[in-house]
Amino acid sequence: MKIYDIAVIGSGIGGSLFAALNRTKHDLILFEKDRNVGGCASTFERYGGYYNSGATTFVGYEEGHLIGQMFKRIGFTPELRRSEVGVRVIQEEKTVDRVKDFDTFLAMVDREYPNPFNRMFWETIREIDRKFWELKHIYYAKHSIGGYIKTLRAMAELLSVYRWDLLMSAERFIRQTLGEIDAAYQNFIDAQLLITLQTTSKELSLLAMALGLSYTFHDTFYAKGGMGRLIEGLLEDVLVKRQEAILSIEPLPNGHYELISTKGTYYAKKVVLNSTVYDSGNLFKNPKIQAYYNRFSFSDQSAFVVYLRLQGEEKFLHHYQLIQQQYLPFSISNAIFVSFSDSEDQRLSEGGYSVTISTHTRATIWQNLSKEAYKAQKKELQEHIIEAFLHYFDTIKAKDISRAFSATSKTFHRYIGRYNCGGEAFKLKNLLSMPSCRTPFEGLYHVGDTVFAGQGWPGVALGVDILDKEING
User: C-alpha 383: how far from its chain's center?
Assistant: 26
Q: What is the DSSP string of 118-181?
A: HHHHHHHHHHHHHHHHH-S------SSHHHHHHHHHHHHHHHHHHGGGGG-BHHHHHHHHH-S-
Rounded CA separation 104/302 (Å) = 33
Nearest to 460 by CA among 432, 423, 430, 431: 423
Question: Residue 425 has what pLDDT?
Answer: 63
Rounded-to-5 percentages of helix, strand, coil across the chain: 40, 20, 40
Question: Residue 149 has what pLDDT?
Answer: 95
Cα–Cα distances in angstroms (integers) from residue 237 to residues 22, 31, 370, in the given order: 11, 14, 45
Is-contact 275 9, C-beta < 8 A?
Answer: yes
Nearest to 115 by CA among 165, 189, 170, 168: 189
pTM of the model: 0.95
Residue 377: phi, psi to the nearest 5? -65, -45
Walk me through the domains of the chain, giving residue ranges and CATH numbers.
4-37+235-298+427-472 (3.50.50.60), 116-217 (no CATH)
Residue 348, phi-psi category: left (phi > 0), alpha (psi -120 to 50), beta (remainder): alpha
Mean pLDDT by 10 residues, the chain (473 residues): 96 97 97 96 96 88 91 96 96 96 98 98 97 93 93 93 90 97 97 90 92 94 96 97 97 97 98 95 96 89 96 96 94 96 96 96 95 97 97 96 97 91 65 86 96 89 96 92
CB atoms closer than 10 angstroms to residue 394: 7
Is-contact 7 29, C-beta < 8 A?
Answer: yes
Rounded CA separation 262/254 (Å) = 24
Residue 417, phi-psi category: left (phi > 0), alpha (psi -120 to 50), beta (remainder): left
